[in-house]
Amino acid sequence: MVRHPLIDDVVGPAIVVESASPVVWLTDALASLLRRSADAGRMVVLRTGRESAITPALRHALGAYGAAWAVADFDGTLRDGRTGAAASGIEDFVHRGPELVGTPSPEHPVAADSVRQISIDLTLRHHAERAVDMGSAIEALCHTVGTCPTRWGTAEPLTVPWDRWVVTQYAKHEAPGVSTSYAVGEGFSATMTAHLVGGVVVETMSAVLTVPEENTDPELANRLFDAVQQVADQVVPVFGVVMQRRGDADHLIRSVSHGEPSPLAVVVGPEASEFLDRDGVWPPPRTTTATFGTRSGARDRSGASDSDVVDGGMIVRFEDGWEALESFLDRIDEDRFLQLVGGAPLDPAHDEGTLDGHVRDARVAGGHGAA
What mean pLDDT is predicted for residues 265-285?
85
For strand 9-11 and strand 235-247, is the pairing parallel, antiparallel, or unpaired? unpaired
Q: What local confidence, expressed as pLDDT, does residue 31 receive?
A: 96
| CB distance 253 to 142 below 8 Å | no
Is the model's pLDDT at 369 over the cut of 80? no
What mean pLDDT is predicted for residues 291-319?
58
Residue with more model confidence, 126 or 365: 126
10-14, 110-114, 269-273: which range is least confident on average?
269-273
| CB distance 313 to 261 below 8 Å | no
pLDDT in tens, 310-354: 457 888 899 888 888 888 888 887 676 666 655 433 444 444 433
Query: 1 falls in which pLDDT band (50, 70, 90)?
Result: low
Give dist(CA 221, CA 189) in Å, integer: 19
* Exposure class string for 208-222: b at 16+ Cβ within 10 A, else e: bbbbeeeeeeeebbe
How many percent of the chain have pLDDT more than 70? 84
Q: What local confidence, expressed as pLDDT, does residue 371 receive?
A: 33
Query: 237 falls in which pLDDT band (50, 70, 90)?
Result: confident
Q: What local confidence, expressed as pLDDT, does residue 295 receive?
A: 45
Angle at 277 between CA 271 and CA 283, to 5 degrees: 100
**Sign of the alpha-carbon torsion through 154, 61, 242, 184:** negative
* Exposure class string for 261-272: b at 16+ Cβ within 10 A, else e: bebbbbbbbbbb
Backbone angles phi, psi at 230, to 5 degrees: -65, -40
The residues, any chain, with a CB within 8 Å of residue 80's CB and separated by 6 or more, are 68, 69, 70, 71, 87, 93, 99, 100, 366
**pTM over cut 0.95:** no
Q: What local confidence, expressed as pLDDT, does residue 340 receive?
A: 63
| CB distance 68 to 45 below 8 Å | yes
Is the model's pLDDT at 248 over the cut of 50? yes
